[in-house]
Amino acid sequence: MSIIGIILTSFVISFLLTGYMRHYALKKNIIDNPNERSSHTIPTPRGGGVSIVITFLFVLVGLMLSRELDWSTGLILTAAGFGIAVLGFLDDHGHINSMLRLAIHFVIAIGVVFFLGGFSEVTLFSGNVQLGWLANIIAVLFLVWLLNLYNFMDGINGIASIEAITTTLSLAAVYLLLNIHLSSELLLILASSVLGFVLWNFPKARIFMGDAGSGFLGLILGILALIALKTDIAFFCAWIICLGVFIVDATFTLIRRVSNGHKMYDAHRSHAYQYASRKYNSHTKVTIAVLFINIFWLFPMAYLAAQKVLMPEVILLMAYIPLILLAVFLGAGKTENA
């Protein structure tokens, strides 16, 4: 089957599976009921992200069996993604102790870094900064943080899906434009799998993604970013730029809340996107704003970083400055009602 056929098939499977997951969630009463920390006002079934997981992993296995994807990459993505998805699925059905969940996240992240061969050779700023073994620790922390922040940022209609779709399409375009020997096909397949879900979630949410889907997306995007890092730090910077809205909002919010005396794991609704959705009384406006930021600001900056117009680390900083200012303007991390 051609890559176009695989992409279309992925979309159709994901779309149909999401409809089934909605039926399943309603039947099993897997419902998100609004509370004082919610950005929603209507009880809504959750767990639709399982469709993304099943579709993407199904296609991965098919690509491995047909030898269109090397087994080492495919097995890392499949095993790690499946593990995180199962953990999230169980959490969607009932509460899992947060410390146990975090411990499993670290075990999976360590396994990914190990089987990718480690990152001790990574250097920054044109080779002037040698990270050595510290790079492996940073890579593990990066994976754990990304899969968790993706969960934190999945709070309004469509935002987690739009972030995944624009990131994967942007990086696929960068790979193709620069003729980079990295798998743009995987990015397109992941984008189509998410697109099949988001039609059920945006602009009106008929089902939520749930922890299984958000954690899976965060981890898979993180692994693909680390695979790019194995090739060149410039491509990794391009990934970090494209994920900038989520990384800046989640990280800035956490730092500000902890500095204000809040516990790291306290539930809240003080992310920039949450303040924005209340300020403008719309999920749709905020999600579309993220779409525009990703396409018209972060994608061009990622392309420049990948091209090494300047040092990629400098372009990354340039890309993030407006995002940080926006987070400050919207009050990210500020104590609610303060």
pLDDT in tens, the chain (338 residues): 788 999 999 999 999 999 999 999 999 888 887 765 666 768 899 999 999 999 999 999 999 999 888 999 999 999 999 999 999 999 888 778 889 999 999 999 999 999 999 999 998 988 888 889 999 999 999 999 999 999 999 989 999 999 999 999 999 999 999 998 778 999 999 999 999 999 999 999 999 999 999 999 999 999 999 999 999 999 999 999 999 999 999 999 999 999 988 888 777 889 999 999 999 999 999 999 999 999 999 999 999 999 999 999 999 999 999 999 999 999 999 987 64
What is the model's pLDDT at position 128?
80
A 10 A CB-CB count for 314 gives 13
The residue written with tokens 């999230």 in the block is 88
**Residue (of 84, 83, 76) closest to 113 by Cα position:** 76
Domain boundaries, the chain: 3-233
Q: In whole angstroms, how far apart are CA 34 and each of 22, 118, 148, 158, 320?
A: 18, 43, 21, 17, 33
Please give the structure tokens belonging to residue 263: 């516990």
Region of 31 please: left (phi>0), alpha (psi -120 to 50) or beta: beta
Rounded CA separation 234/301 (Å): 11
Please give the structure tokens belonging to residue 123: 């250097």
Rounded CA separation 122/230 (Å): 8
203 cis-preceded (ω within 30 degrees of 0): yes
What is the model's pLDDT at position 71?
93
Please give the structure tokens belonging to residue 73: 């990459």
What is the model's pLDDT at position 102?
95
**Residue ranges in the chain assigned as alpha helix (H):** 3-27, 50-65, 71-93, 98-115, 134-153, 159-177, 184-198, 210-231, 233-242, 244-259, 272-279, 283-293, 299-307, 312-330
Query: In degrees, to the nearest 5, what angle opens at C-alpha 91 toward C-alphas 88 and 97?
Result: 115
Please, what is the angle between helix 210-231 and helix 184-198, to 10°?
160
The one-letter amino acid code at 81 reads G
A 10 A CB-CB count for 16 gives 13
